[in-house]
Amino acid sequence: MREFTYKSRDGEVRVLINVDYARSLGELIREYTGCAALVSRGLPDAVKVDCPTMIINDGESGKDINTVLGIIKWVHGLGLDRDGVLIGVGGGSVLDTVGFSASIYLRGVDYINVPTTMLSMVDASLGGKTGVNAMGIKNVIGVIRQPRAIIVDFSFLNTLPVHNYVDGFAEVIKYGVTMDEELLNYVINNKDALLSKDRGALEFVVYKSLINKASIVERDELDKGGERVVLNYGHTVGHAVESATEFSVSHGRAVALGMICEARVGVKLGLTNPDLPKTLLSALDSYGLVTKIDISNIIDSVTKAISRDKKKSGNFLKLPVVIDVGKWELVRISVDEFVRMVMSECGSIP
């Protein structure tokens, strides 16, 4: 078991890793006047605490403003007051939806994240970026508000399908290549233990991933100082691939493709170590995360998605570029130039 806290503008956030979620949750909710649990549809029996429970959909279909309105109507009907707490139990889309609902209900109530997928354990559960889709646009409505606690219980991974489990390692490798050489080497050298869900190995990579993300969030919580952009490495192209393929390529695999592509762009810019794309490709491929895709066939959709990227300012993108493992810098590049480089360097991956 590992535990740490990080600081936010609203107070400290407690992070508990490799614990029994029911016991930890039971202790945490004692300080509140009431609670309401929002649980992924795939986990109807997951919450074993004395809280009213509502089942919500996973994925993009559930991560919608209409779901939020349904949650708010439900918790208001329960009589939950401003000293109550919402609990999100599920993957990243569920946690996003619950976090946003908590952030706007009665001008903001506390919420606790209980991530149930590897991807949400290492990434989506921490950081406070809550957002939902509306008008067909991903994450167009949202706020930044931190959870009060994050509870990571590895027992949820026991029944997680393999392809969903390995998706999370794209984000782990992202933390490694951008900020933490030790983490990257560990993931490369301990593949068998991690793929077999060894608790000790999992505890190490989840802790290292979250502590790296928390250090960035503490320094740039509101995404104004430029540091937080590193958390989006691989996501500019990755989100574009997700959108262009109508989400038939999973988030982890899209980010994997995005990191390889953005590393190649970095080499083209003369900033990235030429060996880095091969290092990334090898690490990602060893976890089965490299999906062969011909971006040139979907370039119109990719271009449209990039032009709407949240890191866009005017006609420019703020792009995190990895110089070498553990080192990165922020680069300002025009959208047109970036798209041209994506076309020339990433037409076909791998």
Per-position pLDDT tens, the chain of length 350: 999 999 999 899 999 999 999 999 999 999 999 999 999 998 867 777 789 999 999 888 889 999 999 999 999 999 999 999 999 999 999 999 999 999 999 999 999 999 999 999 999 999 999 999 888 777 889 999 999 999 999 999 998 999 999 999 999 999 999 999 999 999 999 999 999 999 999 999 999 999 999 999 999 999 888 899 999 999 999 988 888 888 889 999 999 999 999 999 999 999 999 999 999 999 999 999 998 887 777 777 777 777 776 666 778 888 999 999 999 999 999 998 998 899 888 887 77
For residue 331, what pLDDT is reported? 95
For residues 17 and 1, is the Cβ–Cβ distance under 8 A?
yes
For residue 44, what pLDDT is reported? 67
Neighbours of 249 (CB within 10 A): 19
* Overall fold of domain 2-159: Rossmann fold (3.40.50)
What is d(CA 270, CA 268) in angstroms, rounded to the nearest whole number?
A: 5
Give the ranges where the chain is alpha helix by DSSP (H).
21-28, 59-62, 65-78, 92-104, 118-119, 162-179, 181-189, 191-195, 199-219, 235-244, 251-268, 276-286, 299-307, 335-346
Q: What share of the chain is helix, strand, coil (3-state, %, to 5)?
A: 50, 20, 25
For residue 43, what pLDDT is reported? 84
As a residue count, the chain comes to 350
Residue spans per domain, the chain: 2-159, 162-349
What is d(CA 23, CA 298) in angstroms, rounded to the nearest whole number?
A: 48
The answer to whether domain 2-159 and domain 162-349 are alike in fold is no
The correct CATH number of 162-349 out of 1.10.3720.10, 3.30.200.20, 1.20.1090.10, 3.40.120.10 is: 1.20.1090.10
For residue 299, what pLDDT is reported? 74
For residues 145 and 108, is the Cβ–Cβ distance under 8 A?
yes
